[in-house]
Amino acid sequence: MNSFFTQFAATEAHNAAEKPDIFTSLGIDWKLLVLQIVAFLILVWLLNRYVYPVFLRIVDERQSKIDESLKAARAAEKSAESAQDKIDEQLDQARLQAKDIVTTAKDEASAMLSKADEKSKANAEHMLETARDEIGKEVIAAKKALHNETIELVAQATEKVIGKTHTAKADASVISDALKKAEK
């Protein structure tokens, strides 16, 4: 085909050399130019008929996918914003709950401390009372022991003063009478 165009162009150039016109003076072969224009128009018609619709369909599909992706991205962004708002709200609630828990724990700890303090005071009072009771019993026991020793000493002193021994019952009654008079 290339040789056909070249041969056609050469023949036309030779014929044009014989007739001078504006195209030949510019070095343009008008028949070749017309042939190229027709070939170009056929090429454009073929491209418009078979190639461009496929390309346009592919471009339209890609554009629709891009639009869908943009819509999905915007929806995801809105969803992320609402999720972030919910998270912030939940964090605020969690902080409030934590503050309430800490306050409750402090109150409970204070109550436990005061209860333990009261319990230890009651325990100390009980121990003090028990100690007082034991001291009282020991004082009573010491008084009885002292009383009995005093009776013996008085009996011994009486025996030495009188010079004779009395019966234990007689001594005891005399001594106890003497002690009662002394206590009053």
- Position 163 scores a pLDDT of 60
- Position 2 scores a pLDDT of 60
- Position 12 scores a pLDDT of 59
pLDDT tens for each residue of 15-27: 545 556 776 778 8
- Give the chain as a 3 state SS string: CHHHHHHHHHHHHHHHHHCCCHHHHHCCCHHHHHHHHHHHHHHHHHHHHHHHHHHHHHHHHHHHHHHHHHHHHHHHHHHHHHHHHHHHHHHHHHHHHHHHHHHHHHHHHHHHHHHHHHHHHHHHHHHHHHHHHHHHHHHHHHHHHHHHHHHHHHHHHHHHHHCCCCCHHHHHHHHHHHHHHHHC
Q: Is the pTM of this model over 0.75?
A: no
pLDDT tens for each residue of 49-61: 999 999 999 999 9
Low-confidence stretches of the chain (pLDDT < 50) are 16
